[in-house]
Amino acid sequence: MTCATGEVSVYSHCAYCKHCTGVRAGKRVLPAPQREIMKKPAGFGMDEEVLNAAMLFNSIVRDGDAVACEDDAGCGYTSMFRR
C-alpha cells in the first residue's frame, strides 16, 4: 500500500498504525479490531488480545477492498504503541 512514508505492507504496518480506522468492504468500513482493543485499559493478557486482533485485521484485509486511513496530515506510518 502507498503511505506518506512510501510503500508499506498492510499486514505489518497498517495493522499497527494509529491512522488505520479499518477496512473498506464495498460501501462499509469494518472497524480495525486492534484499534478497538487499544481503547480498553491495559491489563493481563493485553499482548495476546492485540495479537489476536491484528490477525483478525489481516483476515479482514484479505477480503476487503482497501484500508481506511485517517492520515489527513500526511504523517505516514505511526505506531499505535507510541504515546
Strand 2-3 and strand 28-31: pairing? unpaired
The residue with greater pLDDT, 63 or 46, is 63
Can you give the pTM of this predicted structure? 0.74
Residue 42 has what pLDDT? Answer: 72
Whether residue 46 is predicted with pLDDT greater than 70 in this model: the reply is: yes
Residue 82 has what pLDDT? Answer: 66
Q: How far apart are CA 73 and CA 75, in angstroms?
A: 6
Residue 53 has what pLDDT? Answer: 87
CA nearest neighbour of 65 among 10, 17, 7: 10
* Average pLDDT over the chain, rounded to an integer: 84
